[in-house]
């Protein structure tokens, strides 16, 4: 995770960003810190990146890389405003001694990649259509040695996979069908017939931008119906308030890069 000390909406690179809307930086830090405390309280270890001036989106740490079993496939951001973030993530991963593979193709890390180790023997779901380029899916497959399933995103409000779909345990997902092409919806239905489905309201409240440890699901507090559906499916919803960080087009998952080593 990376503190939003320098968070601001200084440019608009997704439909949620409004440069005329005020951002309360102090409140953003408080809400982010509550998220961090929630994860620690659930028993998770949180590593911290040092935020850098001039990189207001560094708080969205999920976009910096994608890690599977100690191998890290690095990010290459689409927009130049975020390009410098990639080096910070690389330096962190290399400092930990993990194998880092630099990308040649445009991809935005866990923003567009999700890993399910027990789904069909280990499966990467990969989004494309707005940020990550399709050739990056093949590059990720070669880098990580896991089969990659490409899913086309068709609604610009769901510009990353992680605002439209999330893993809720090692073999199942929750997603919003309307974010995907009809063919991708059929693929998801085939792969995950028991998936939890979100409605428009909860999807637009960033409810799918969540993190789950297989039992506890940390999600945006506005996604109340989705929380109910997850509870009915046997999970424990853990709501958090992230209204300030939503102004940049992200929520819980965007703030968390999962380290699988």
Active-site residue flag, 137: no
Under a CB-based contact definition with an 8 Å cutoff, are residues 157 and 132 in contact?
A: no
Exactly one of 89, 93, 137, 160 is catalytic; which is it? 160
Which residues in 75-134 belong to E strands, given as ranges? 99-101, 113-116, 123-128
Whole-angstrom distance, CA of residue 210 vs CA of residue 44? 15
Active-site residue flag, 255: no
For residue 30, give the nearest of 4, 49, 2 by alpha carbon: 4
> 81 exposed, middle or buried (CB, 10 Å; 0-12, 13-18, 19+)?
middle
Exactly one of 2, 89, 93, 254 is catalytic; which is it? 254
The DSSP secondary-structure symbol of 68 reads E
Backbone angles phi, psi at 38, to 5 degrees: -65, -45
Would you please indicate which residues are annotated as catalytic (active-site) residues?
A: 160, 254
């Amino acid at each position: 995770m990376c503190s939003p000390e320098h968070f601001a909406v200084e440019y608009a690179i997704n439909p949620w960003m409004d440069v005329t809307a005020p951002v309360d930086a102090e409140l953003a830090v408080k809400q982010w810190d509550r998220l961090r405390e929630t994860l620690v309280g659930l028993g998770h270890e949180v590593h911290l990146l040092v935020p850098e001036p001039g990189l207001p989106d560094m708080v969205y740490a999920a976009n910096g890389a994608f890690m599977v079993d100690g191998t890290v496939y690095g990010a290459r951001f689409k927009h130049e405003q975020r390009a410098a973030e990639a080096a910070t993530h690389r330096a962190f991963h290399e400092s930990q001694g993990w194998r880092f593979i630099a990308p040649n193709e445009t991809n935005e890390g866990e923003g567009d990649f999700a890993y399910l180790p027990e789904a069909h023997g280990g499966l990467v779901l990969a989004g494309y259509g707005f940020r990550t380029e399709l050739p990056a899916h093949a590059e990720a497959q070669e880098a990580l040695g896991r089969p990659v399933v490409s899913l086309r995103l068709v609604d610009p409000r769901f510009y990353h996979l992680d605002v439209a779909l999330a893993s809720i345990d090692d073999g199942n997902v929750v997603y919003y069908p309307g974010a995907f092409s009809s063919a991708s919806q059929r693929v998801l239905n085939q792969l995950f017939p028991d998936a939890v489905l979100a409605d428009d309201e909860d999807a637009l409240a960033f409810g799918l931008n969540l993190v789950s440890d297989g039992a506890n699901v940390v999600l945006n507090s506005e996604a109340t119906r989705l929380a109910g559906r997850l509870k009915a499916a046997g999970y424990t919803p853990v709501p958090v308030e992230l209204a300030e960080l939503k102004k940049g087009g992200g929520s819980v998952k965007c703030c968390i890069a999962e380290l699988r080593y």
